[in-house]
Structure 1
Amino acid sequence: MAYGNDFYVKANIIGYTGDLNDNPTVYFQKGNRFGRITQDHPHANNIGRNRVREYNDYRISNVDGKAQEYYNGSVRHTSRNSFIAVTSDTAAVLALAISNFPNKKPKYD
């Protein structure tokens, strides 16, 4: 069974970082729950589904050209790239990450 299969669904995609056509990191949010699927990373243990987290102060924004995720009172993750919001034109491509990466990141095991 895939990790977070009730959360990591197309309807919850909010955007991505990286190259749309070359394994972007896909970001998800529903209410106060959020997570991401990393498809490519220099460290293999950081590829896959991020732990689904829940904080009421979650937000993602671009700072100096890089996406920053803020929750639990501070910046918790800075991406290698800018955040780009999902559109009807990008949703299908981004959704491929859901089936291609069903497992939680190895660093969480």
Structure 2
Amino acid sequence: MKKFVYYYLSTIPLQLAPAITIAQTIDSVLDEVESILPGIIQVLILLATVVFLLGIITYITAGGDEKKLSEGKKYMLWGIVGLFVMVAMWGIVMLIVNTFNLGGGQIPIGPGEGPINL
């Protein structure tokens, strides 16, 4: 499992390399990163969920073995911590984006005047 995680994390720069070399401006690089990022986040959430479920399965099938029980608890704990951190960071980012109107759209400029479209 650890080898798979290290292998996947080590290939992320290789996945971004074609986008960076073909890109002409920083905007196109950011667009490429923005298009890849949701997929990476989904994989990380899936991985944390799998770790949590692996912990549950290990805990249930331990059969009274203290070593397997503690291993299952450890997997469950780290799966929950991973999910919590990812969801909390997503919530903080959305709070900042919505608070400072960074999501694009329209800027209200005052009464009687129409908004400026971005």
TM-score under structure 1 length normalisation: 0.20
| Structure exhibiting the larger radius of gyration computed from Cα positions | 2
Which structure features the higher share of helix residues? 2
TM-score under structure 2 length normalisation: 0.18
